[in-house]
A and B are shown apart, each in its own frame.
Chain A
Amino acid sequence: MKNLENLPEEIFDWLAEKTFSELTEAQRQKVRAYLSEADYENYRSIVFDFQELDHQVTADSSASSPPTSTTSFLKRVLNYPIPLYQVAAAFLILAMATFAMNDFGEEKNLPKAEEKSGVGKSLAKDDYPEELVFNL
Chain B
Amino acid sequence: MKIKELTDEQLMESFASQNDEVAFGQLYRKYFPMMSKYLGWQLHDPEKGKDLAQNIFLKIYQKSSLFDTSKNFKVWLFIIAKNQMKNELRNEAIRSKHLENIAILPTNENEEKADHTQRLQQLKTELAQLSENHREVFVLKYSNNLTLQEISEICNCSVGTVKSRLFYALQKLKNKLR
| Residues of A participating in the B interface, judged by any CB pair closer than 8 Å | 4-7, 9, 12, 15-16, 39, 42-43, 46-47, 49-54, 57-58, 60-64, 66-69, 71-72, 75
Contact = CB atoms under 8 A, between A and B. Distances in A.
B163 interface: yes
Contact of A66 (B28, B141, B170): B28
Most-contacted residue by chain B among A4, A6, A16 (CB, 10 A): A4
Nearest to B19: A69
Interface string B28-67: 1100110011001100001001100010011001100000
Contacts of A6: 160
Given A53-B120, A58-B33, A4 B167 contact: yes
B123 A5 contact: no
Nearest to B46: A57
A47 B142 contact: yes
A35 B30 CA distance: 35
Interface string B5-25: 000000000000001010011
B167 A7 contact: yes
B21 A12 contact: no
Contact of B120 (A49, A60, A61, A62): A49
B58 A75 contact: yes
A71 B21 CA distance: 12
Given A12-B148, A64-B50, A72 B62 contact: yes
Interface residues of B, number: 44
B95 interface: no
A7 B163 contact: yes
B37 A57 contact: yes
A16 B147 CA distance: 13
Contacts of B49: 61
A12 B62 contact: no
A71 B160 CA distance: 43
Given A5-B161, A46-B174, A57-B37, A69 B148 contact: no
B50 A16 contact: no
B61 A72 contact: yes
